[in-house]
Amino acid sequence: MRRGLLEKSAHITGGSITNIYQSDLALLFGLYDQIFFQSYFRDHFAGKLLFSLSPRMTRSAGKIIYPKNLKALTPEEERYELRISVILLFSYESLPRDKVVNGIKTSDSLEALQLVFEHELCHLIELHCFKESSCRRPRFQTLAFNIFGHTDSCHQLPVTAEIGREKYGISVGDEVSFLIDGEKYSGVISRITRRATVMVPHKSGDFQDREGKRYCKYYVPLSMLRKNRSENRK
């Protein structure tokens, strides 16, 4: 599987993924379909399969998107989209710790991609066959173990909030400073996703708290933030 992807992909050239396209997901699906499912989806699936990459998924490594009225659709009307988070793939090497996916310790981001992809394939199979899917239920867990050897249904890949805490020493609620065009701004981190959301006090800000204080909202890359020293806090 791994060798086949590396041989056929024009973008993935090694275990460390720094570049990936939707066509790579389609290629990977074709390999899995051929090797694990005897080309069932290629030869017998009448619906539509789509593949996408998300720069916004900061917690979930993958997901299957499907119509809510799936049970009412004909085989030709079935539609599934397999989406993978590029944020988690590209952040794989950001922290020097073990990265476990589906109960299996991974060696690089390519292996992590394969395990995440396998998890979503199990959702796809359940949805296609039973029109519902839950990785918390025994049927999914049995399916994942019997086909791919998964012993768990979650990932321990570095997420943005953990990277902020471990690499940059910042967390939600911290007072931080950052520069924009040479001007310094200070505020409080209210959220960490792909970037940190920093609420900066400003008398004309668009956001107001319960005490009536007003703020401007900034989305700031973690690398631009500097945690304020406690003695400088008011």
Q: What is the pLDDT of residues 63-114, one digit of tens each?
A: 999 999 999 999 999 999 999 999 999 999 999 999 999 999 999 999 999 9
**What is the rounded average pLDDT for all residues in the chain?**
94
Q: Are residues 91 and 192 in the same domain?
A: no
Give me 151's structure tokens.
């012993």
pLDDT at position 97 is 94
Q: Are residues 207 and 106 in the same domain?
A: no
| Total count of residues recorded for the chain | 234
Could you tell me the CATH number of the domain that includes residue 216?
2.30.30
Q: What is the mean pLDDT of residues 17-26?
A: 96
Q: Which residues does 40 contact at the CB level (< 8 Å), separation at least 6?
A: 33
For residue 1, what pLDDT band results from cuts at 50, 70 and 90?
confident
Domain that holds residue 213: 163-232
* Percent of the chain whose predicted confidence (pLDDT) is above 90: 94
Q: Are residues 185 and 204 in the same domain?
A: yes
pLDDT at position 230 is 65
pLDDT at position 194 is 87
Nearest to 83 by CA among 62, 102, 66: 62
